[in-house]
Amino acid sequence: MIYFDNAATSWPKPPGVVEAMTHFLNKVGANPGRAAHRRAVEAGRIVYDAREAVAELFNAPDPLRVAFGSNVTESLNLALRGYLRPGDHVITSSMEHNSVMRPLRALEREGVELTVVQCSPEGSLDPADVGASVRPNTAMIILNHGSNVVGTLLPVAEVGRICRQRDLLLLVDAAQTGGAYPVDVQADLIDLLAFTGHKSLYGPMGTGGLIVGERVDVARLEPLKRGGTGSRSEHEQQPDFMPDMYESGTPNAVGLAGLAAGVRWVLERGVEEIRAHEVEIAQRLIGELQNIPGVTVYGSHAGEMQTATVSFNVAGISPSEIGLRLDEEYDIMCRVGLHCAPAAHKTLGTYPAGAVRFGLGAFSTAEDVDEAVSVVAELAREAR
């Protein structure tokens, strides 16, 4: 079996992840921050450890400004809906996932002005086009760091500089890069970083969060939900401090125990080393696919310009048929279609049919790549 759907969720997980979750359920089990007995405090320590691990990975100075949530979509909704008001202007790219596009389109109906900056057919973005779109009422720029369709990296640090010059906030969707590519909220000038736990952070599903930088006025960033936090229980008003103000309701502590273990594994192995491995196998995949007659590879065509997510099509056979045959006949798991990103596929010229996406991960090997490519070559031959 070859698992090439790491861009949707990583598999397998490092061994410590399952152990940490089993330990939490079997030996701790209590509700973090909801009581003062030792099990509850221990649960709180485990959640805090996850906060510290995430802060270390992204070089965030204060672990208490990491707010956990159920996934990156929730964090993006919190940042967009919580911060933007009718009359504000927001800028994004034409390579965004629907986790950004749908909240923005809904906000647009409520009076937020939206500019979608066109990316190249390879999915790259010219920072000058972003700078030229800034208006007096621009409040925020939101960009994905790496495309979920073709892996193309966007120039977040350059846009970060524009944001500092023009006194705007930069929100980055790091779903595809966190853990797989160096992300440094201080060096990259990122004010709000939305991350997911279950992709290249190697934690379980149901974990993610938002890192809120010092330039963000939390009094303006409204919570998505309000409720019990285990703190200030005497008050019927929501707390006004982080992380509690954005973390109402019992957290996914068992998931966060697994997330902490996943991030520690990434830190131990080193993001640079994981990145080097992924560049190598992505470059191998791109090169081999390009050699097959009838195969079109999308994106940058260069491993160092993108993540290890590669999309392609085969002449004469639809993406959905390829996906079905890879699964049923060859035991290869990938994702075909539009990947929740119609804007990105329109930019790449692959809308509405979509493409075949191979999402490689830290556990993918050169042998996996060679085997999958030989199958694609076989399918391409049949279709000619």
Binding stretches for another protein (CB under 8 A): 32-33, 35-36, 40-41, 44-45, 47-48, 51, 62-64, 229-234, 239, 241, 243-244
Residue (11 or 241) nearer to another protein, CB:
241
Structure tokens at 1: 């079996």
Residue (45 or 381) nearer to another protein, CB:
45
Residue (3 or 48) nearer to another protein, CB:
48
Residue 175 beta carbon to another protein: minimum distance, rounded to whole angstroms? 24
Instruction: Let me know: does 294 contact 315? Beta carbons within 8 Å.
Output: yes
C-alpha 41/C-alpha 33 separation (Å) is: 7
- Reduced to 3 states (helix: H, G, I; strand: E, B; else coil), residue 301 is coil
Structure tokens at 208: 């993610």
Residue 62 beta carbon to another protein: minimum distance, rounded to whole angstroms? 7
- DSSP state letters, 156-223: HHHHHHHHHHHT-EEEEE-TTTBTTB---TTTTT-SEEEEESSSTT---TT-EEEEE-TTS-TTTS--
Q: Which residues contact 111 (CB under 8 A, 6 or more apart)?
A: 86, 87
Among all chains, which residue has been given the structure tokens 């760091």? 145
Residue 38 beta carbon to another protein: minimum distance, rounded to whole angstroms? 9
Residue 217 beta carbon to another protein: minimum distance, rounded to whole angstroms? 17
Residue (64 or 305) nearer to another protein, CB:
64
3-state SS of 97-120 is: CHHHHHHHHHHHHCCCEEEEECCC
C-alpha 159/C-alpha 88 separation (Å) is: 19
**Number of other residues whose CB lies within 10 A of the CB of residue 110:** 10
Nearest Cα residue to 357 out of 372, 374, 343: 372
- Reduced to 3 states (helix: H, G, I; strand: E, B; else coil), residue 146 is strand
Residue (69 or 146) nearer to another protein, CB:
69
Structure tokens at 321: 């048929």
Residue (16 or 63) nearer to another protein, CB:
63
Residue (1 or 36) nearer to another protein, CB:
36
Residue 78 beta carbon to another protein: minimum distance, rounded to whole angstroms? 17
Residue (233 or 365) nearer to another protein, CB:
233
Instruction: Let me know: does 254 contact 25? Beta carbons within 8 Å.
Output: yes
C-alpha 328/C-alpha 333 separation (Å) is: 9
Residue 46 beta carbon to another protein: minimum distance, rounded to whole angstroms? 10
Residue 252 beta carbon to another protein: minimum distance, rounded to whole angstroms? 15
Continuous H helices in the chain: 15-23, 38-57, 72-83, 98-109, 127-132, 156-166, 253-269, 271-290, 319-330, 342-348, 366-383
Residue 36 beta carbon to another protein: minimum distance, rounded to whole angstroms? 4
Residue 45 beta carbon to another protein: minimum distance, rounded to whole angstroms? 6
Structure tokens at 351: 């809308």
Residue (82 or 230) nearer to another protein, CB:
230
Residue 17 beta carbon to another protein: minimum distance, rounded to whole angstroms? 22
Residue (244 or 288) nearer to another protein, CB:
244
